[in-house]
Structure 1
Amino acid sequence: MENKDKIRVCVIGAGPSGMSVLYQFAKLRKIPNIVCYEKQSTWGGIWNYTWRTGLDDNNEPCHSSLYKDLWTNAPKEANLEFPDYTFEKHFGKPVPSYPPAAAVRDYLQGRWTNACSTDLKQFIQFNTIVRFVKFENDNFVVTIDDRKKNMTKQEVFSHVVICSGVFNYPNQPEVPDIIKFEGRVMHSHNFRNANEFKGQTVLVIGSHYSGEDIALHCLKYGAKHIYISWRTQPTGLKWPKGIEERPGVTRFDAKNAYFKDGSRTAIDAVIFCTGFRNHFPYLDTNLRIGEDTSLYPDGLYKATLFLNGGNNKLFYIGAQDQLYSFNYFDCIASWVCKYILGELADEPKSGEKMKRDVTKWTSRVSTIASLKDVADFQTDLLAEICSSSGYDKSILKAVSLFVDWIRHREEDISDFRRHQFRSMYTGSLAPTQKPYMTIFDDSLETFLKC
């Protein structure tokens, strides 16, 4: 076991992943010297709504992609609820399965305060931007910009945990002649209010979750018509009137989009829903994972420990595509904290064994062909991490909830949120709520009246 007094941990980001690291260390009651740097003025990461796009109030790239009136697109019982702090415990009663963003943030903050006997904010340095991280002399040298004190300095750490997320650097492919288009062009990262597109014909490029949700959101708030352009294959979903799919965009002119099937259509706006990049510009190049997003980034043992630099003392949490999310981050964080403190009975393994383990998972990714495969993959991965770290295996029951969720989406993509799920931890069935397409108030107060 490494001497606790020699351990100094840097956590970058106080969103759900970074807060799970602090929470899990506090739960072990063996908190090392730890500092969490957060560029925003509060915790919560992408769950902090802002009207700003482009640059934030510190003239830094705006972190959050959260838009007004966002509701979760997967049931909270499957990917948001923590085993040790349920939604029912937080709100004092069962609440619907698909909460708005305000309720999610309130729940997170409740866990970080009510469920933890340690004041986690004491470890967080807000309004602090990490400028550069390098590894030398078996330690990490972290350059930070403290905006409150208006000073830049370097700090030395034994370990670094990257928790800054992957939803802040948009992936924006080039489309021929888009410069000729005279309408609005934006990426979903800068999407804030669907009312902007009322009465307009909108082209959504990208048919994954954000594309689906923004298309429905625009229709809900009065868009005239939405076209969803897919790259590899159509979604196969049953869209409501007002939304239709087209194959990939080939080019633009001033008013029209042209598609691979030879069709064209006049449009008013283009929204790129083409995902994000695993971009960590503050890391020395030899400490970075690849920029392409994946269910299992290559070089990460247990989906977290970076093997290609940093002498097994650099970790990533939340840097992969997910179905599980909060409970996924939390499970991995529990493993990371115990690994750092030397409290895992079967770790560390030899470098060769760890690389073989990585290959096992990355090879399996190539065989995934459906959402059910994704759910099974992440469930099996979490089962392995739970077995090593001792994290509550109840979270693995979520796989059956995901199966139901997949079916509900296929049955009616515009109304799948009406379904009720039962908490895996309390046994309580979520109450019903109004149809999503008729809800125009995303406030916490209105949600709790359900």
Structure 2
Amino acid sequence: MTKVAIIGSGPCGLSILRSFQQAEEKGQIIPELVCFEKQSNWGGLWNYSWRTGSDQYGDPVHNSMYRYLWSNGPKECLEFADYSFDEHFQQPIPSFPPREVLYDYILGRAKKSNLKKYIKFNTVVNNVVFNDDQFVITSLNKKENSISQENFDYLVVATGHFSVPYVPEYEGMNSFPGRILHSHDFRDAEEFRNKDVVVLGSSYSAEDIALQCYKYGAKSVTIGYRNNPIGFEWPEGMKEVHYLDKLEGNKATFKDGHTQNVDALILCSGYLHHFPFLEESLKLKTHNRLYPPKLYKGVVWQDNHKLFYLGMQDQFYTFNMFDCQAWYARDVIMGKTQVPDDAEIEKDINNWVVKEEALEDSIQMIDFQTEYTKDLQVASDYPKIDFELIRTHLKEWKHHKEENIMTYRDKSFSSPVTGTVAPLHHTPWVEAMDDSMTTFMKAKSS
């Protein structure tokens, strides 16, 4: 029987498992599936841990989530086509839930589909080589301290690319008396109450961590950008300045000459696409972009059509895009979809890359990823979902952020699956200090 290895049981890994499970539900014979998960639980990044640095086995912590994290985009834009929020929660819920609520939703579909039976937990893949038309995978069961080697016909890399931080260095860091950390190790905004915080970066993580620190009582929050500012109208106590030049004691000097007292420096400098377990000929090498090179349909490794990467793009779309990628990969593996010849692959990849390089703003980027995701959807039997509505939602979401960065999470959107309009949350986000699912799901008291 054909054997398929999947590395990672986060949203992407669960998507590929679900795609095969759906095929089996339709009476099709599916391959033998083995999913390797180095953590003790599923859900990938959404599986929150207080740990930073190393886990209990001495391996680098995968998790980058933090307390008080709320969705920074409408939940409707990531909804599974085959498992709605209405089905999971049995009631409408607001559009911007906290992490625990989304994690519960992710696991709801996985549990309904009985996906855990395919997963080997506490098992890290140490080495992958491709020999004689098969992948030879060496793995370590950390709990039992036992090494195994297995052969597989196909490999799906679903490890994500938000777990290995890129950490730059600046003059004065070694003698800085305050706290320095990467966003990967940020866990609790309460730590920075009454402190002057500098956040370096202009990504979603920089934006959200800066807002978290402000919300939970930082004395001041200064965002340092390298190329372009985030550009929102920040509340009093927050500002954006040009990038950090140097640190002298507790004084930060920025490229525009601005100086600022600083107690804590948070590096939101991004992550690396890092696959140390793969031999060189199999490694995706890219920065964070909407269309990584050498991936046909953003999924199939150009040099080896038995290797698939899921979720390696910069993302406006997430869970349902991962699903579309997974359904496509499944159909290639099961022989229902044929990968074209090398010339056609090269032409298709170049076509998408040229389009990406011509993009000028986030609205065009949303359009690009919408068209990419729709292109994948029509290539498989992924259930119907209204991607045009999601496109509209994403553009409205961007507009709401530009109107007021403090209130965009208080808006409501409609489901692209059921049409349900989300209710307003009982508490404005800036006042909602409790991010537990229990409190979030409560109706507002009269």
Task: Specify if TM > 0.5.
Answer: yes
1:361 correspondence with 2:361: no
**Which residue of structure 1 aligns with residue 418 of structure 2?**
426
SS at match of 2:223: strand
Mapping for residues 240-251 of structure 1, pairs under 5 Å: 240-251=235-246
**Which residue of structure 2 aligns with residue 62 of structure 1?**
61
Is contact 2:30-2:334 (8 Å) kept? no
Mapping for residues 106-185 of structure 1, pairs under 5 Å: 106-114=104-112, 116=113, 119-185=114-180
Q: CA deviation at 1:291?
A: 4.0
Is contact 1:130-1:143 (8 Å) kept? yes
**Which residue of structure 2 aligns with residue 349 of structure 1?**
340
Q: CA deviation at 1:358?
A: 0.7
**Which residue of structure 1 aligns with residue 268 of structure 2?**
273
1:321 correspondence with 2:314: yes
Cα deviation per residue 1:256-285 (whole Å; 9 max; x = unaligned)?
111111121111010001111111111111
SS at match of 2:174: helix
**Which residue of structure 1 aligns with residue 432 of structure 2?**
439
Identical counterparts, % of pairs: 42
SS at match of 2:6: strand
More displaced, 398-407 or 426-435?
Answer: 426-435
**Which residue of structure 2 aligns with residue 449 of structure 1?**
442
**Which residue of structure 2 aligns with residue 383 of structure 1?**
374
In structure 1, distance between residues paired with 2:432 and 2:232 = 22
Match among 83, 86, 96 for residue 85 of structure 1: 83
Letter in 1 for 2:79: E
In structure 2, distance between residues paired with 1:443 and 1:255 = 35
Q: CA deviation at 1:413?
A: 0.7
In structure 1, distance between residues paired with 2:417 and 2:229 = 37
Q: What is the CA RMSD across the aligned residues, in angstroms?
A: 1.1
**Which residue of structure 1 aligns with residue 277 of structure 2?**
282
More displaced, 183-192 or 248-257?
Answer: 248-257
**Which residue of structure 2 aligns with residue 237 of structure 1?**
232
SS at match of 2:266: strand
Letter in 2 for 1:405: W
Match among 216, 220, 225 for residue 220 of structure 2: 225
Q: CA deviation at 1:180?
A: 2.6
Q: Runs ≥4 in structure 1, deviation > 3 angstroms?
A: none
Letter in 2 for 1:353: E
SS at match of 1:22: helix
Is contact 1:279-1:291 (8 Å) kept? no
Q: CA deviation at 1:395?
A: 4.1
Is contact 1:21-1:337 (8 Å) kept? yes
Is contact 1:69-1:100 (8 Å) kept? yes
Is contact 2:81-2:384 (8 Å) kept? no
Is contact 1:383-1:393 (8 Å) kept? no
Is contact 1:203-1:269 (8 Å) kept? yes
Question: 5+ unaligned residues in a row in structure 2: which ranges?
Answer: none
Question: 5+ unaligned residues in a row in structure 1: which ranges?
Answer: none
Is contact 2:286-2:293 (8 Å) kept? no
Letter in 1 for 2:225: W
Q: CA deviation at 1:394?
A: 2.1
